A and B are shown apart, each in its own frame.
Chain A
């Protein structure tokens, strides 16, 4: 009932090709975006912004990036935090050495530098596939870990290897209050989500998906694997580079190479696996699951008034979180986005299933 598209006729190609073809989706997403921009800033507390919403937004952006590569193009990478690190340090050096540059330009340039690095580390994908490629992408992780910890130039010869740039300024707008950070990040995320969604619907996304589904067949119908795979690596690393710069500048404020370690790479991968591979929406679900859930779980005993020791509470957090991951993967191996899609299917007929 609720999701029936009966009566919504498409009379032009344009209408048929739009991003959200069903009216209900358009209304829903529209309301959500309006709420996110105008209601959330008044409702959420600073704590909520700083500890959950801001990391959620930035990691969603990174997860979208990784999803373009893994979910859409089928090239597994377990070193994507490396490209976030490249983005963060590129942005730091740009701000340091070219101080008059606008931060938006810094973001885009940092993205391009990360994209170039991503293409470089994507070259092995032309020869090796699957798990072998995954292992090869680890090289990116270890290389950047080494690079930013050892080559002092990148950290401006800081004593302890930790860098701390000034708060972001955009056309005289100093972004340092939690709400300002939120609005800025939300704006960036909306723009990048729309771009990603459209990329996957265009010829590039089709080339990626063809390569993912069967690379030999894709080659036969005229898709160049070099082109498809390297663009996927480039776009994906671009997204992660931008996310990395935001992670450093907006979320952490000061960071060390450890902030972009293997753990973060794996977390990104878990996000898209749990959220749903090959789905932009899945990146949102996955990021929410990985970022927000552990923090909530950690505080549940206290809200309930159960006097648990700190150690027990955090052991419980790990156990329940692990169990939930296993549970979701058993119930729906294709991710939370798939659950959502099933829900929509059901709503088409509900409440009259016949």
Chain B
């Protein structure tokens, strides 16, 4: 029996996003021919690798019904940790490992606060955001580490594979890995299950807390790598790294079709959503618009996306035959 290829709602949304992306590319190219240049596009990936990477991980967190607002702080804290490891003469490549461990640790802390201690995810990740960015600033007293020992990692930024900077293939590889996680492993599947119908997920024996720990660890890990990446771009470990990233990533996820209430979201959609946001910001820059408009634009796009989603929202066919009886005797 030939299996009909059915485009579900998410796939349709992704196509629309792709169309918007293409439109934007055309528009900005029209505004400034240099926009579509090889240099500019590849540079976009260099600048926005954190957005893509954290966006991928955030997809699972939001899909399972939670949120991680701590990523910006984790980026900063991991960047500083990396800087210190370097000036403590740890091999700049070996240093990646403890930094990754730190990011994952924060993810685990987030999950303990939200799942085990019953603090709503918004509050707990906001608290860890305050704590991690505070740690980042306080350990260096707000002074970036510019020692030459930190420089080796800048090769990430300058390295090219042929003519293409490392960022582009790295971005694609990470995205593909996440697509694999999404489609071929329990990670993607359970994220949707937990966010879509937590009761059903529990009945099926899914360890919801364990899965959420994994999702938070992924965002922590991606944030850790992003922190190091930014050090590579700046050539110094700067404690202001990561500011505003949680907002941009969440906005890109929503734009990419992730339902803020959980239960829906694709890596492909978030990739496109991130691309749209990144193109928008860069396009504005290329048009000579003040960089201060960036957050305003991001905010407006987020509002528009979330309002449109809710208006065209698929009213879920609940499949409820009758109201659930919550009373005792019936």
A in complex with B:
no
Q: A residues within 8 Å of B by Cβ?
A: none
Q: B residues within 8 Å of A by Cβ?
A: none
